[in-house]
Structure 1
Amino acid sequence: MIEDDFIPGSPNAIELEKLQIELVKLQKWVQENDKRMAIIFEGRDTAGKGGAILRFTQFLNPRAMRIVALPKPTEVEKGQWYFQRYAKHLPNPGEMVFFDRSWYNRSVVEPVMGFCTPEQYERFMKQVPLFENMLIEDGIILIKFWFSISINEQKHRLEQRKINPLKQWKLSTVDMLAQSKWDEFTRHKEIMFSRTHSENAPWIIIQGNNKPSARIEAIRYVINMVDYDEKGCSGVSLNVNNDILSKFQPT
């Protein structure tokens, strides 16, 4: 059982099941039409990215989807073009790929933690819009989610990870410094939004304090992005809750 506050028989659980039925139909459309879909899950530590991906993929055909959660780069990968290690994991025809963190590590985590140089950071920020435009022009359906969370909720979840033996594996050096470096993460996140958001590849921000609502709205958004056969036949609402999910608005 996936632990994330969906109580069997509750309105949230019923709505989730209907949305997952829609996802199965969407995946069938992707397979039958040789489409390629890449969904990026970014956000603060403990914001619920991994749990959201589990809810997305729970009933999908594993032969036509992949979850990509890359470890830290090897010495060889450090000498490669930055995007190279990610490019080889892009979706094949008829496939959906879910990135549990992505190339955007270089826009927030790496500069905050000192894992990249200022020159590497700036090069990435200049190249990423070009990289994503190439993906989109080649036909890849690209969706970029940022899961947001409050500082107090993050503190609570980090404390739960420390005492829960089933979640202690999630704790990392970055997690342990998430609270003390909160403002630095915020500053780099805002810069990332302003420099890498575009109409073709917008940032979709999800309020993640309430896990069930965040996961429901993320799935609903993806369903709205594609016109597939028998869309909406499950009876689920396709209207996104704008209090939970919004598109970044440049100032």
Structure 2
Amino acid sequence: MSKNKSGTASIKRVPKKAYEAELERLQIELVEMQQWVAAVGARVLVIFEGRDAAGKGGAIKRVTQYLNPRHARVVALSKPSDRERGQWYYQRYLEHLPAAGEIVLMDRSWYNRAGVERVMGYSTEEEYQRFLVQTPILERLLVEDGIIVLKYWFSVSDDVQQDRFASRLNDPMRRWKLSPTDLESILRWEDYSRAKDAMFAATDIDEAPWWTIESDDKRASRLNSIAHLLSSIPYQRQELEEISIPDRPAVTDYERPPRGHHRYVPDVAGELGKKKK
């Protein structure tokens, strides 16, 4: 990876046209996979972890874009409340596990304890060591009960992460993504690397292994993560019921009330059209 004239990281990206075509194909497969999950009552849990600005959110968005929200949920928990701090550590996550016919995607998960909590000192050494012992046990229990558990780690280089942070600085739609903890991760890059290595050593188990996704190229990381997700679920294409759209019956005695009797939102779009003229 090199630097371009502006000083940002230069990355060889998947061509946009090829990316969009393959993404569409994969998203069609995702819909077919979800139909199988709902039909057979499967339970799918997908955990997304990784560096700040590694592209987890963008990948999750592409996975769920066309899925039926009644059977697919994204779980992104905020800081624990005082009550939750008094619970078993995993408790607030476990209530979000998938029921029959559901896909749950966790945008960060109980692995916060092995990452940000470990590096920033939010958990004690005893709590951290207990986590490393209990997590493989917990995940084996989930798999033993029939839940499909997939764990993805999005890896991004330090130069690309720095560029992505900088791009958010003056972007009003993404400025909220720059939290003090995110910025602190720049200074603690090596600490996070050590924490990730220790986490993998303790929790990369055969029943629920870690899968690493190189994400300097966001397009490639999205395609690779979706393709792997699909290949990891033993779904079969479902035969769809025949659907016949009926002809609309002729209007009989219904008369629509005058438009002036209702409130309408202002036509902002129409005003934009006038300005162009």
Length-normalised TM-score, structure 1: 0.88
Query: In the alignment, residue 212 of structure 1 is paired with which amino acid?
Result: R
- Asked if 1:225 is matched to 2:221, the reply is no
Q: Which residue of 2 aligns with 1:234?
A: none
- Asked if 1:207 is matched to 2:207, the reply is no
Q: Which moved more, 1:92-101 or 1:168-177?
A: 168-177
**Per-residue deviation, residues 186-232 of structure 1 (Å, max 9, x unmatched):** 0000000111001111000000100010000000001111232239x
Structure 1 residue matching 2:53: 3-state secondary structure: coil
Give the deviation of 1:171 after TM superposition.
Answer: 1.4
8 Å CA contact 2:33, 2:237 repeated in 1? no
| Of 161, 166, 185, the match for 1:159 | 166
Unaligned runs of 5+ in 2: 1-12, 239-277
Cα distance in 1 between the residues matched to 2:229 and 2:31: 12
- Asked if 1:19 is matched to 2:26, the reply is yes
Q: Which residue of 2 aligns with 1:118?
A: 125
8 Å CA contact 1:6, 1:13 repeated in 2? no
Cα distance in 2 between the residues matched to 1:56 and 1:125: 29
What does residue range 148-187 of structure 1 map to in structure 2 within 5 Å?
Answer: 148-187=155-194
Q: Which residue of 2 aligns with 1:242?
A: none
Structure 1 residue matching 2:213: 3-state secondary structure: strand
Query: In the alignment, residue 46 of structure 1 is paired with which amino acid?
Result: A
Structure ID, larger Rg: 2
* Matched residue count: 226
Cα distance in 1 between the residues matched to 2:172 and 2:14: 21
Cα distance in 1 between the residues matched to 2:14 and 2:81: 38
Cα distance in 2 between the residues matched to 1:151 and 1:225: 30
- Asked if 1:29 is matched to 2:1, the reply is no
8 Å CA contact 1:46, 1:154 repeated in 2? yes
| Of 66, 69, 72, the match for 1:59 | 66
Q: Which segments of structure 1 move beyond 4 Å, counting only runs of 4 or more?
A: 5-8
**Per-residue deviation, residues 17-69 of structure 1 (Å, max 9, x unmatched):** 00000000000000000000000000000000011000000000011010000
8 Å CA contact 2:14, 2:217 repeated in 1? no
| Of 104, 116, 124, the match for 1:109 | 116
- Asked if 1:83 is matched to 2:90, the reply is yes
| Of 100, 107, 119, the match for 1:100 | 107
8 Å CA contact 1:23, 1:56 repeated in 2? yes
Please give the root-mean-square deviation of Cα atoms over the aligned residues, in Å. 1.4
Query: In the alignment, residue 187 of structure 1 is paired with which amino acid?
Result: R
Structure 1 residue matching 2:186: 3-state secondary structure: coil
Q: Which residue of 2 aligns with 1:237?
A: none
Cα distance in 1 between the residues matched to 2:97 and 2:15: 34
Cα distance in 2 between the residues matched to 1:48 and 1:226: 22
Give the deviation of 1:6 after TM superposition.
Answer: 8.8
